[in-house]
Chains A and B, each alone.
Chain A
Amino acid sequence: MAVPKRQARLIGWIAPTILVGLWQLSIVTGLIRFRYFPTPVAVARALHTLAVSGELYKNTAHTVSVTLIAWVIASVLGIAIGLVVGLSVPLWKGVMASIDVLRSLPIIALVPVGVIIFGFTLKLEIVIAAYAAMWPTVVNTISGVRQTRAELLDVGKMLRLSTIERLRKLIFPSSLPLIMVGLRLGLGLSLVLTVVSEIVGTPKGIGNALISAEQALHPGQMFAYILVVGLVGYLLNGVFLYLAHFFSPEERSRGMAK
C-alpha cells in the first residue's frame, strides 16, 4: 500500500499526539500521582524558560560540538585503522580477536577509568566519546575492505593501476557503503557517551544540565533536556543521512525515483 509522503508524515504524528494527550490527562485527572512527574505543559514551559535564558543554547552547543569533535577524531582514526587492518591479512589475523573483545566491552564501564585518568574535563568527554565512536567505523571499514570483490581487484591489475590507485579508486569507494554505516553508528554513540560523561561529572553540556535539574528538583527542566537530547540525536542522524544521499549518486537517483 503506497501512502503519499505528506499523508504518511501526518499519520506519523497521530501516535505521539495521542500519547502526549494521555500523559497530560492522566496527571491532570490525578491518575498518576508521582510528585515529580511533570505534565507536558510544564515541560514545554520549562523548555521556554531555558531557551529564553540562553542556558539551553549554551548547553546544547557544548554537547553538540563535543559530539562532533569526538566523532571526527573517531572517524579519521577508525577509517585509518580499518584500512590498515583490512588490507593486511597477517595483521587482520593477529588483531581481529583483540578488536572483537575491545569493542564488545561495554564502553560505559570504561568511563570510571577515564575519570581517573583525565578527571572531569573536556578531554574526558572527547576521549570517551571518540573511543566509543571509533569501533563501529573500525569494524565496518575492515569488513568493507575485505569484502572488496576479487573481480574488482583483477580489474585493477589488468588496467595496471598502482597500489595507491587501487586503494583510492577501487577498494575505498567499494567499501564506502559499509564505512558509512560505521560512521553513522559512531555518530550516535559519540552523542550518547558525551552525554554520559556529562551526567557522570563533566560540569557542562546537556547531560550536566539534566542531572543538575534532577538534583535541584526541577522535573520540568529535566524532561525538557531529555527532549532536547532526543532531538539532537534525531537531527544529527538526519543531517548525516541527508549529506550521505547528497554525495552518493546511487542513493540520489533512488531518492528521485521514489
Chain B
Amino acid sequence: MPELIKQDEVVYQVLDLSVNLRRRGQERVILESLSFDVLKKECLSIVGPSGTGKTTLLRALAGLVPYSGSVKFHGETLNGPASDVVLVFQDYVNALLRWRTVQKNVALGIEGRIPKEQCQERIDEAIETVGLQNYRDSYPWELSGGMQQRVQIARALAMKPKVLLFDEPFGSLDAMTREGLQDELLRVRSVFQTTCVFITHDIDEAVYLGDRLMLLSGSPASLTFELDIPLGASRNQILTKESGEFLGYRHQVYEQMRKAHGGSQATG
C-alpha cells in the first residue's frame, strides 16, 4: 500500500536504479532498473545468491558508486555519501584502523567535530552498547572477529546515524558469534530506532532480522520477490526460529530463490 505511506516516513525512494561497473575495461550492467522504498525505522533485508550485486546495491545507497535512475534520500537526490548514513562493511579487518585502539577507532568519525566531552560520552555510549567496555584500549588485532565487527558497529553508532547499511556484516563469523551479534543488532535497533538495510546471503538471518525482505537475483540483478515479515520487535533465536510463522517465511524465500535459479540449485 505505498500510496498510503506518508512522504516523511520514506527514507529512501529508489526509482529505476541501474548500476554499471567497469571491470577490466569492460562495462557490465550489475543492477537493472530496481525500484523500492526504505521506510523509517524498518529493517529491510535484502537476500540473494553470492555475486548478484547485493553489495553494489548497498554501496549505491551509501553514495559510494555512481548510478543511473533516481535515488532520493529524505526527498533529496543522492550524490555522494549522505550524512546520517553509515555503512558497516563485511571486511572488518580492513575497515578498522589497526594502529588505533578500540576507543580511537570508534572516535574516527566524530573526533574534532564535536566538543571533547561530548565526543567521549558518545564513544563510551557506543562502546557500552556493543559490550566492549573492557576492551577500550585494546587494538583490533587483539580481538576476535566478532569483537572486531562490534567495534565497527560501535564506530557507526557513534556517528548517531539515522540509517545503518549492513553489508553481510556477520558473513565471516562462526554460527554462535553470528547469532549473538544478530540479537545485539535487534537490541541496538530497538534502542536507537535506526533504519536498517541488511544484506546477506543467509536466508535464516534475513528473515530473523528483517521487517521486510527483498530477493535480488539474476544477471543483471533485479528485485524478484518481496515479503513482509511481521514477527514483531522482540525475537528470540530459539523460539522465533522454531515458530511456524518463521518457518513459513523461510520456506517462501527458499522457494523463490530456487525459482530464480531455475530450480536447479540450492541457495549459495
Contacts and interface: CB of A to CB of B under 8 A. Distances in A.
B143 interface: no
Residue among A152, A176, A248 with the highest chain B CB neighbour number at 10 A: A152
Contact of B86 (A158, A169, A174, A248): A158
Interface in B91-111: 91, 94-95, 97-99, 108-109
A256 to B, nearest CB: 12
A249 B137 CA distance: 11
6 contacts: A152-B94, A154-B64, A155-B89, A157-B80, A158-B85, A169-B97
User: Nearest 8 A-B pairs (CB), nearest first?
Assistant: A159-B109, A151-B94, A149-B94, A173-B99, A158-B87, A157-B81, A155-B95, A151-B95
Chain B binding surface SS class = loop
B139 A250 contact: yes
Interface in B112-169: 139, 141-142, 155, 159
Contacts of A253: 139, 142
Given A169-B108, A249-B99, A151 B139 contact: no
A155 B167 CA distance: 13
B94 A158 contact: no
Nearest to A157: B81
A159 B86 contact: yes
A169 B85 CA distance: 21
A154 to B, nearest CB: 6
Interface residues of B, number: 23
B81 A158 contact: yes
Interface in A216-258: 248-250, 253
A176 B99 contact: yes
A124 B142 CA distance: 48
A94 B85 CA distance: 38
A170 interface: yes
A159 B159 contact: yes
Contact of A160 (B91, B109, B142): B109
Contacts of B141: 250
Nearest to B110: A159
Contact of B64 (A149, A157, A249): A157
Interface in B61-87: 62-64, 80-81, 83, 85-87
B91 A151 contact: yes
A154 B141 CA distance: 20
B94 A249 contact: no
A159 B108 contact: yes
Chain A interface bracket (under 10, 10 to 19, 20 to 34, 35 or more) = 10 to 19
A149 B87 CA distance: 16
A151 B89 contact: yes
Contacts of B85: 158
Interface in A125-182: 149, 151-152, 154-155, 157-161, 169-170, 173-174, 176
A66 B109 CA distance: 43
Contacts of B63: 157
A154 B89 contact: yes
Contacts of B142: 253
Residue among A160, A170, A253 with the highest chain B CB neighbour number at 10 A: A160
A144 B106 CA distance: 24
Given A151-B95, A157-B81, A173-B97, A249 B86 contact: no
A149 B96 CA distance: 11
A239 to B, nearest CB: 22
B81 A160 contact: yes
Residue among A152, A158, A160 with the highest chain B CB neighbour number at 10 A: A158
Interface in A162-207: 169-170, 173-174, 176
Contacts of B95: 151-152, 154-155
B99 A250 contact: yes
A158 B64 contact: yes
A249 B85 CA distance: 32
A218 B105 CA distance: 61
A153 B63 CA distance: 13
A149 B159 CA distance: 22
A100 B94 CA distance: 30
B75 to A, nearest CB: 20
Contacts of A173: 97, 99
Nearest to B93: A151
A152 to B, nearest CB: 6
Nearest to A154: B64
Given A152-B94, A253-B142, 6 more contacts: A154-B89, A157-B64, A158-B87, A159-B108, A159-B159, A174-B99
